[in-house]
Chain A
Amino acid sequence: MNLTSQDYQVLAPYILLTAWACVLLLVDLFIPKERKSVTALLAALGLAVTLGVTLSQVGIEQVGFFNMAALDGFSTFVNALLLVSGILGIALAHGYVKRMGIERGEYYTLLLFSVSGMMLMAQATDLIIVFIALELLSIPLYVLAAFARPQLSSEEAGMKYFLLGAFATGFVVYGTALVFGATGTTSLAGIVAAAASPSTSTLLLTIGAALVLVGFGFKVAAVPFHMWTPDVYQGAPTAVTAFMASGAKIAGFAALLRVFATAFPALAVDMTAVLWALAALTMIVGNVIAISQTDIKRMLAYSSIAHAGYILMAFVPYGNPAVRDVSIAAGLFYLVAYAFTNFGAWGVVIALEKKEEKGLAIADYAGLGRKHPLLAAAMTVFMLSLVGLPPTLGLVGKVYLFRAVIAGGFTGLAIIGVLTSLISAYYYLRVVVTMYMKEGEPETVRETWLSLTTALTAIVTVVFSLLPQSLFEWASTAVLKLF
């Protein structure tokens, strides 16, 4: 049995990025300490080249490496989104790490490894690969969260993320073991086949699937597995948080979508109720607790929990073949909207953050509208998008999502979604009010890449909301290869 070029084609983006990261690890040693921007540029270049390869794969559908990984519309879409997130993450980090005095070449290499793990997760068609990819994306994130060492809050963030992340991984492994015990295989295709046979224990399979769900619930910060999120997001360096909030979420949801929609359609009856409750709880708790936050990083952390709830809505009708594809497309669309808005909002936070964790209170944004009108305008766009108000991508995303959920027959969940969005308007718009209505002298930093990222994400957030159809059509082609 030999590997063919088809195998390599399936994992071409992953292989390319991993190889690039390994080489960069060595090249970085020869780059002098004060010129680490070169490393950042090389890392971004690696992501850009991989993005090119990924885009050249649109429309190809294949499996490879003995059915361990698949290349399909879904994985291509998610990979492209992850690579863009990686580039944005580097653009945000470049000036920030320098300013905070934590610049090291390994930052960019670890980020590349993390993105490669995320991509592998989106392509995994075997639970073993899901597990290894989960670790490959998480371990660099643990290290990055603690990157501002010996700053205490960053060390705490890294430690907390590591301990709870390892705990969550335990759930995934245990769930995988039970699924294996029930079906005798870890391959998603094999699980589907085994689930159809009457001799398979449905109880074991259900418990296994539920444990896998718990593990991923931790990773995407769904309530009640969200406890780590505020502390980790607050303590980690802000540029890391921005990347973590988007990248880890995209990858986690991608893996959940693939595992549940392809391997566990037989469990849809039981799982739908669980997912329903999880989504509703996440939306309510995230939004309600966010109201009382005075620190912008904590507020955005709870906001990210709340958005995990909205994205979870896309999972609820997964067992209904009539609406499954459209709800997956709506979920992917929402992930795109969330990723861009999220990077933009964190970019503004980075622009105002000063050393020793100063400039992070919402009150510090007072007077931004007068002093830096463009930055304040960008922040307004991001806040509107997070609420889901026009003219932003956030609104379109929510419309598609609610429509899909209602089509699936879950009107109650859509109503909870609308109501919690109304609640969220209070704390998002409070930032806007502080910026424009209150007096203050905020100081910001000017960095080319940071300004470019913020401007770009703001423009994308507005412009794509005016022509959402093309993006949604692309998301609709991103259907999963089913077995």
Chain B
Amino acid sequence: MTPNLILFLILALVAVATALGMLFSKNAVYSALFLVLNFVTVAVFYLLLGAPFIAMAQITVYAGAIMVLFLFVIMLLGAERLPDTHVLPWQKPLATVLTVILALESTYLLWTKARPSGAVLPPGAEVNTVDNLRAMAMTLFNDYLLPFEVTSVLLLVAMVGVIVLVRREKGQKS
């Protein structure tokens, strides 16, 4: 066992445990905190894979910004406690079926894709090498320039849309 593998196993255990903790916690705030821990563990995975930029982005964006938003919404709505009753009776059987499908899918993928010849590398595979911030920027602002720019327009439109929908006109009752 290499040190990396030991580290990986420990982290994997933490990741799975926190994910389960998030799912089964009855208190929404605890769930959110478990999720933070999970995000951080995943960030360490990225570090292990030699991708420091994605690791830091994971921490700032997910564990930072998005989680603050989650917690804010949870507290704003006062939805800390879930009711104990099951609202959807067909949820459990459906979940069982879907889980089985997912398991079969994963098995199939592992079985067919585990062969070394069939490995598919993403277009930005060089991102995972040294100097990866530079490589990432090169990919983002060359090959993916158009999606990047259009996404900014998309965010602008979404923002305008939200403001249009929630803004109260003068003289209009809420």
Q: Which residues of A contact B (CB under 8 A)?
A: 1, 3, 11, 18, 22, 25, 65-66, 68-69, 104, 106, 109-110, 113, 116, 120, 126, 128-129, 132-133, 135-136, 139-140, 142-143, 146-147, 149, 158, 181, 184-185, 199, 201
Contact = CB atoms under 8 A, between A and B. Distances in A.
Interface residues of B, number: 26
A184 B157 contact: no
A-B interface, 4 closest residue pairs, ranked by CB to CB distance from nearest: A143-B161, A65-B146, A184-B120, A68-B146
Contact of A143 (B144, B147, B165): B165
Contacts of B165: 143, 146, 149, 158
B160 interface: yes
B131 interface: no
Nearest to A136: B154
Interface string B111-138: 0100001101111000000000000000
Given A65-B146, A66-B146, A106-B164, A136 B118 contact: no
A143 B151 CA distance: 18
Contacts of A22: 153, 156
Contacts of B154: 132, 135-136, 139
B161 A140 contact: yes
Contacts of A136: 150, 153-154, 157
B121 A128 contact: no
A184 B146 contact: no
Nearest to B159: A139
A139 B157 contact: yes
B145 interface: yes
B146 A129 contact: yes
Contacts of A129: 146-147, 150
B157 A140 contact: yes
B75 interface: no
A132 B160 contact: no
B147 A68 contact: yes
8 contacts: A11-B146, A65-B146, A68-B146, A128-B147, A136-B150, A136-B153, A136-B157, A139-B157
B161 A133 contact: no
A133 B153 CA distance: 10
Interface string B87-113: 000000000000000000000010010
Contacts of B109: 181
A133 B151 CA distance: 9
Q: Please classify the interface of chain B as helix (H, G, I), strand (E, B), loop, or mixed, using the class held by over half of its residues.
A: helix
A66 B143 contact: yes
A66 B145 contact: yes
A66 B151 contact: no
Given A11-B146, A143-B165, A199-B118, 15 more contacts: A65-B145, A104-B169, A110-B160, A110-B164, A113-B160, A116-B153, A129-B150, A132-B154, A133-B150, A135-B154, A136-B153, A142-B161, A149-B165, A184-B121, A199-B117
Given A143-B165, A184-B121, A113 B146 contact: no
Q: Please classify the interface of chain A as helix (H, G, I), strand (E, B), loop, or mixed, using the class held by over half of its residues.
A: helix
B158 interface: yes
Given A129-B146, A149-B165, A201 B160 contact: no
Contacts of A116: 153
B85 interface: no
Given A66-B142, A199-B117, A110 B157 contact: yes
Contact of A139 (B112, B122, B143, B161): B161
Contact of B120 (A68, A143, A146, A181): A181
A243 B89 CA distance: 40
B157 A113 contact: yes
B106 to A, nearest CB: 12
Given A22-B156, A139-B158, A184-B120, A132 B164 contact: no
Given A110-B164, A140-B157, A184-B120, A201 B112 contact: yes
A128 B149 CA distance: 12
Contacts of A146: 165
Given A65-B145, A66-B145, A106-B164, A120 B120 contact: no
A129 B151 CA distance: 9
Contacts of B122: 184
Nearest to A104: B164
Contacts of B156: 22
A414 B155 CA distance: 44
Nearest to B118: A199
Contacts of B169: 104
Contacts of A69: 146
A132 B148 CA distance: 10
A139 to B, nearest CB: 5
A106 B159 CA distance: 12
